[in-house]
Amino acid sequence: MRFFLKANFVLIKGVKRGAIYDLKKGDVYDVVPRSVKQLESIEQDEKFWRILVKEGLAIRVKNKPKIVISSPTPKLNFVWLEVNEDCNFKCIHCYGGWGKKRVEKKYKDVNWYKVIDFIKLQKCSQIQIIGGEPLLFPDLKNLIKYSKKVGIELVEVFTNGSLLNDEWLEFFKSMNVDLAISLHTVNDKKFKKITQSKFDVNLILSNIRKAKKIGLKLRVATVVMKQNQNDLVNIQKECPVKNLRFDVVRPSKDLKMGSLLPKKQIQSNLAFFTSPPMKTSKKDFELKKYFNSCWMGRMAITTNGDIIPCIFARTIVVGNINEDSLETAYEKLVEKYWSFNLDKVEKCAGCEYRYVCKNCRPLAMGYSGRLEAPNPYCKV
């Protein structure tokens, strides 16, 4: 008879320490170096193991309890369609620099209907249409109609909300379209400074209320930066919908991050991933053990036809829809980037929390330029 961890507990070793993942209840326990050695030692310390038995982590049996850890089957679940660069805002934090003076377009228009056919062929049922400002895209209504016709269940349009009128709202309602609206402050002076536009923030708030009133499925997104870091409580109070999400500033070569980053305390309280969430599940563990937890199942196609892992990974191009086979580019995406988990990231590969932590490669690449770079905000 020997002591073993129960079947739902998994020990993950780091360079110096370890962690025990409870794949049933979701808890993650820190394990000091001495205890890691005890857990792996052939000569078992009965006093040590009886403590684990008492705490419900271990059991004394003849054969080691087994738990089956399986790799999820790769499947396309979500696609961003960046249909245009045109925008009536010039937001200071925009990762694409939309709305600013741009060079003359030197690429072919994307056949978005061909893209929708491929998405449907992969049995993917969720897309997000973005820009630029997608309401400035001339063929938006037809593209939405076609998407719904072929059976795309969730079509979300991400807009700045300034061009929403009764006609657009009624169309979205009739087509069962979801809306995502950006709202970076409720202070009009700051709003004009952030968006570099002449629009009034009250117009955006009014359009959010109208969308809510007619029953559209709606969420609101705020990018937190130095310019609005003191407005977060007011945004929460005045936002007409409860589904409000705060996100981080995404670095790009055209942004001066020093002028945009909020103070460190706010970074820590948001999605800057300064420490592991310390919660897991069997499904989440399997995903992060074998795949990039953010990229797996996702793909983005930019306005010039580039095929990339996500809308923020602008420099990772696996193909172009106007020049390459979409099927071949998709296979490359799955094989090379969906599988880029934290075992392949500097520092993270030796961390005991690598199968519980988040893995935003564009955030790390934005500061280092390297795919293998660790999260710049990590404090572990």
For the chain (380 residues), the mean pLDDT of every run of 10, in chain order, is 95 95 94 95 94 95 93 97 95 80 62 97 97 96 98 98 97 98 96 96 97 97 92 93 88 70 63 64 96 96 96 94 94 96 95 92 86 84
Q: What separation in angstroms does the CA of 57 have from each of 19, 60, 66, 346? A: 13, 11, 14, 31
Instruction: Check: pTM over 0.75? Answer yes or no.
Output: yes
Q: Is the peptide bond before 297 cis (omega within 30 degrees of 0)?
A: no
Instruction: Write the CA distances from 297 to 41, 333, 335, 350, integer angstroms.
Output: 39, 10, 12, 26
What is the DSSP annotation of 325-367? -HHHHHHHIIIIIIT--GGGSTTGGG-TTTTTS---HHHHHHH
Q: How far apart are CA 361 and CA 363, in angstroms?
A: 5
| Closest C-alpha among 196, 201, 169 to residue 182 | 201
Find tokens 């937001």 and name the residue.
Answer: 91
- Are 356 and 279 within 8 A, CB to CB? yes
pLDDT score recorded for residue 266: 61
Q: Which two tokens stand for residue 316?
A: 């990772």
Among 123, 124, 121, residue whose Cα is nearest residue 80:
124
Q: What is the DSSP letter of 348?
A: G
